[in-house]
């Protein structure tokens, strides 16, 4: 066997065969070509296991985060790598690797990578994305994972879990939080009321969100009208 044929054989064993119903041979070859054009600074060379030639491994350990449960009531995970999030695709035919695809399917991103099936190490990829990475997305995913993991592993109340896990939220993540529309209003006895009463804004480093029933705010205004607060002050401060 000549050197070129030998290298080709080793490469095929290293990459593994991809399930026919997930990627075609042409797509797999395109992926290898794209990765070979990545800047050399993004990779480190190390000896491949059971191989006679070096392989390229990306310098960064991926992280799995739980996102919920699938139909089979099993935990569902995302993969975080270099400020990108990936959904699990399929295993290669030899069951040695897992294919992960970028979660940004709605924008047509076809970025993906391979990890091994034991230690969750990136062994191939990632391919280029058609969008930039999100610096806060990993922090958000990790926080959600910690909350869900704690809910499964402890008997703490939701309030206790949130107090424990949300205390160390990065300031930038707090500032970037967008309040969902579902939390801006509430429904009581068939009446829809404003629930988010005030928001100091995304550009406030000491951001404050004020929640409450709009009707209760009106009651408080009436309660303390005409110096009623003085009567309460005397009542609760008298000896």
User: What's the whole-number mean pLDDT along residues 27-39?
Assistant: 47
Q: Does the structure show a pLDDT above 70 at 225?
A: no
Last residue of a domain, one of 68, 103, 134: 134
Per-residue confidence (pLDDT) for residue 55, from 0 to 100: 33
162 φ/ψ angles, rounded to the nearest 5 degrees: -65, -40
84 and 116 within one domain: yes
Per-residue confidence (pLDDT) for residue 168, from 0 to 100: 67
149 and 59 within one domain: no
Query: Exposed/middle/buried for 222, CB within 10 Å: 0-12, 13-18, 19+?
Result: exposed
Residue partners of 110: CB distance under 8 A and separation at least 6: 101, 102, 127, 130
Q: Does the structure show a pLDDT above 50 at 224?
A: yes
Residue partners of 215: CB distance under 8 A and separation at least 6: 188, 191, 193
Provide the domain count of the chain.
Answer: 3
229 and 130 within one domain: no
188 and 83 within one domain: no
Query: What distance in Å separates the CA atoms of residue 16 and residue 93, rounded to the nearest whole number?
Result: 7
User: What's the whole-number mean pLDDT along residues 80-103?
Assistant: 80
Per-residue confidence (pLDDT) for residue 108, from 0 to 100: 84
Pairing between strand 122-124 and 196-199? unpaired
Q: Does the structure show a pLDDT above 70 at 218?
A: yes
Whole domain around residue 162: which residue ranges?
135-176
230 and 112 within one domain: no
Q: How confident is the model at residue 56 (pLDDT cuts 50, 70, 90)?
A: very low
Instruction: Tell me the per-residue pLDDT of 158-188, one tens digit each, with 9 for 90 and over.
Output: 778 777 777 666 666 666 677 778 878 888 8
218 and 126 within one domain: no
* DSSP, res 84: E
130 and 13 within one domain: yes
């Amino acid at each position: 066997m000549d050197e070129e044929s030998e290298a080709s054989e080793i490469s095929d064993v290293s990459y593994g065969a991809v399930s026919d119903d997930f990627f075609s041979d042409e797509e797999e070859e395109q992926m290898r070509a794209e990765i070979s054009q990545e800047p050399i600074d993004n990779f480190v060379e190390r000896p491949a296991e059971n191989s006679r030639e070096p392989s390229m491994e990306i310098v960064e350990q991926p992280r799995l985060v739980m996102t919920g449960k699938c139909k089979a009531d099993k935990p569902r995970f995302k993969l975080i790598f270099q400020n990108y999030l990936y959904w699990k695709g399929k295993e290669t035919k030899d069951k040695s690797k897992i294919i992960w695809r970028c979660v940004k399917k709605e924008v047509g991103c076809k970025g993906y990578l391979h990890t091994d099936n034991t230690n969750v190490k990136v062994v191939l990829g990632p391919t280029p994305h058609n969008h930039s990475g999100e610096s806060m997305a990993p922090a958000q995913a990790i926080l959600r994972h910690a909350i869900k993991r704690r809910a499964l592993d402890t008997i703490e109340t939701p309030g206790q879990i949130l107090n424990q896990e949300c205390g160390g939220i990065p300031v930038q993540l707090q500032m970037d939080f967008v309040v969902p529309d579902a939390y801006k209003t509430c429904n009581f006895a068939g009446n829809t009321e404003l629930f988010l009463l005030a928001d100091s804004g995304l550009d406030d480093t000491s951001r404050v969100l004020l929640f409450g029933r709009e009707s209760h705010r009106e009651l408080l205004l009436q309660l303390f009208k005409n110096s009623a607060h003085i009567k309460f002050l005397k009542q609760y401060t008298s000896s």
